[in-house]
């Protein structure tokens, strides 16, 4: 089941087209990463599906239903850090948030503080929280009312390495608790670690979408080396399916047509050509490489 289906979304700001007929589905239980350089349309898209902006054309549906106030209550969101009161405690700030949005009950506050691992600091003033704790409190606010989906815009933005690691683990914990998570991020390494699915945008156009493993593997990449690197390179040129050979320090990086990167056959081929390989490993193309390839960023 898809929790969100987006079909042909378009949005312009004057002569600037922020979204150009974007369509994709987000499956239930996924951690869906929305990637793109500045100006790609990520925040515009999130704002439309959260009813902050209205699209010029196209449509979207949550849980196979058109948007409505009732449906919106099933979506927790963090587009920007809430304006928490520095002199109030974590609990106090969530009470204010709850009084404004009407989500959840009194017992929900303790529950969401436990989910984001702030329960022990629930009585501490917000001013004493680290940046990571402040961001986790914002996630707690989004969790009020027990939504089915969380929409997060740059959840690790501004955090130090410790805060990023904490946020990463929190998102994985929430995934394991059954939430579907939609997150926009420019930190490609984090998306690669966290997300099950990804969509890549460039100047309002959808460049790629699907499971992270599928988006990354439209070619096979093999790294290999041998004592005689010159002879190895000459021999490898005649192996079928190779699209590119890149020289690295002490090894060759072989790009091959998808499905042709059989390390066993490659090893046998080298052996029959009098070459004993000292290193042979299949490598996955990193999301960063694919991202730059698609967006030219």
pLDDT digits (tens, 9 = 90+) for 48-90: 999 999 999 999 999 998 877 888 889 999 987 778 999 999 9
Contact 222, 261 (CB under 8 A): yes
Reported pTM: 0.78
Q: What count of residues does the chain have?
A: 297
Beta-bridge mates of residue 210 = 198
Residue 102 belongs to domain with CATH number: 3.40.50.300
Considering 187, 215, 243, which residue would you say is the last residue of a domain?
A: 215
Asked if the structure places residue 260 within a domain, the reply is yes
Asked if the structure places residue 293 within a domain, the reply is no
Considering 169, 188, 215, which residue would you say is the last residue of a domain?
A: 215
Residue 238 belongs to domain with CATH number: 3.30.70.100
Lowest mean pLDDT: which of 44-53, 121-130, 275-284? 275-284
In 253-281, which positions are buried (b, 16+ CB within 10 angstroms) versus exposed (e)? Answer: ebbbeeebbeeeebeebbeeeebeeeebe
Does the structure show a pLDDT above 80 at 297? Answer: no
Phi, psi dihedrals of residue 6, rounded to the nearest 5°: -115, 130
Print the domain residue range for 256. Answer: 219-284
pLDDT digits (tens, 9 = 90+) for 180-215: 999 998 777 788 889 999 999 999 999 889 988 777
pLDDT digits (tens, 9 = 90+) for 124-146: 999 999 999 999 999 999 999 99
**Are 130 and 174 found together in one domain?**
yes
**Are 60 and 157 found together in one domain?**
yes
What is the per-residue pLDDT for 288? 65
**Are 112 and 130 found together in one domain?**
yes
């Amino acid at each position: 089941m898809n929790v969100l289906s987006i079909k042909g979304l378009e949005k312009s700001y004057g002569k600037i087209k922020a979204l150009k007929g974007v369509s994709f589905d987000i499956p239930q239980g996924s951690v869906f990463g929305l990637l793109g350089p500045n100006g790609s349309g990520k925040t515009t898209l999130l704002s439309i599906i959260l009813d902050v902006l209205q699209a010029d054309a196209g449509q979207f549906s949550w849980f196979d239903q058109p948007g409505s106030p009732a449906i919106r209550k099933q979506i927790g969101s963090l587009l920007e850090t809430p304006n928490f009161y520095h002199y109030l405690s974590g609990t106090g700030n969530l009470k204010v948030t709850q009084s404004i949005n009407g989500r959840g009950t009194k017992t929900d506050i303790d529950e969401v503080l436990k989910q984001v691992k702030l329960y022990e600091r629930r009585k501490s003033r917000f001013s004493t929280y680290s940046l990571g704790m402040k961001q986790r409190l914002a996630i707690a606010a989004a969790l009020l009312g027990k939504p089915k989906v969380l929409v997060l815009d740059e959840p690790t933005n501004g955090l130090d390495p410790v805060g990023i690691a904490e946020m990463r683990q929190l998102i994985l914990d929430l995934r394991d608790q059954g939430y579907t998570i939609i997150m926009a991020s420019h930190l490609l390494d984090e998306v690669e670690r966290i997300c099950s699915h990804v969509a890549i945008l460039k100047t309002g156009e959808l460049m790629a979408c699907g499971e992270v493993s599928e988006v990354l593997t439209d070619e096979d990449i093999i790294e290999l080396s041998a004592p005689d690197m010159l002879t190895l390179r000459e021999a490898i040129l005649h192996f079928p399916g190779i699209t590119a050979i890149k020289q690295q320090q002490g090894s060759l990086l072989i790009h091959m047509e998808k499905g042709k990167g059989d390390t066993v056959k490659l090893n046998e081929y080298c052996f029959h050509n009098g070459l004993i390989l000292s290193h042979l490993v299949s490598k996955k193309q990193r999301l960063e490489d694919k991202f730059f390839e698609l967006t030219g960023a």
